[in-house]
Chain A
């Protein structure tokens, strides 16, 4: 079974630009979460989507947004990029049982974003 895939793997942008990152979850997985990883702050939760709805949101400014499509694929967008947005952006998917039990999150390889 193919794992979580993320595109692109590497990206260079300049301040003020916007960027869209894509994530394809493991087949059958319906929940997609996004995380930002930086040397300074570690791994931080951005948001989670399930059935095309945002279920949870982390403590990030409104410049960070996301969405999920009917096939569970997800995108996240960062507008008006700042130097501090340089990070590894990770996507994780999980099956999410309807009983609400905990489901393991499996991570993709990430997209490395560099803002100049």
Chain B
């Protein structure tokens, strides 16, 4: 079919502020979720993951929240830095599908100094 260009949402934040990037996933059977960061000219870089038996997981400066009731995932970045500027993707996985990841469209994060 004819492809439609993806219009990625953009989040602009001031350096030092907290960022929250949201993602709605599609499959209620998904049991594993990952956030990736992609900088220009590079492949996606793993940030943090969470399994469906959890609703929150923290890493260094990042927190992922999972709400299975409304099929919603969020990534919180504390004290956002210029180096955090990138496109952020959420991805979902269903165990029976092996390692197939289904990616969201992505969100552009711009950090203003």
A, B co-complexed: yes
Residues on A facing B (Cβ under 8 Å): 4, 31, 33, 35, 38-45, 48, 50, 55-56, 58, 84, 90, 92, 94, 96, 100, 102-110
Is the beta-carbon distance between B34 and A43 smaller than 8 angstroms? no
Residues on B facing A (Cβ under 8 Å): 3-6, 31-32, 34, 36, 41-46, 49, 51, 89, 91, 93, 95, 97-106
- List, in ascending order, chain B residues with CB within 8 A of A92's CB: 43, 99, 101
**Contacts beyond the supplied A48-B99, A107-B43, A109-B42: 20 A-B pairs with Cβ under 8 Å:** A33-B101, A39-B5, A40-B6, A41-B3, A43-B89, A44-B103, A45-B102, A48-B98, A48-B100, A50-B99, A56-B98, A58-B100, A92-B99, A92-B101, A100-B95, A102-B49, A105-B99, A108-B43, A109-B41, A109-B43
Is the beta-carbon distance between A56 and B51 smaller than 8 angstroms? no
Is the beta-carbon distance between B106 and A104 smaller than 8 angstroms? no
A30 to chain B, nearest CB (A): 11
Closest to A84 in B: B3
Is the beta-carbon distance between A104 and B49 smaller than 8 angstroms? yes
B48 to chain A, nearest CB (A): 10
A4, B32: Cα distance in complex, Å: 22
Partner among A33, A38, A104, A106 whose Cβ is within 8 Å of the Cβ of B100: A33
Is the beta-carbon distance between B99 and A38 smaller than 8 angstroms? no
Is the beta-carbon distance between A42 and B6 smaller than 8 angstroms? yes
Is the beta-carbon distance between A42 and B46 smaller than 8 angstroms? no
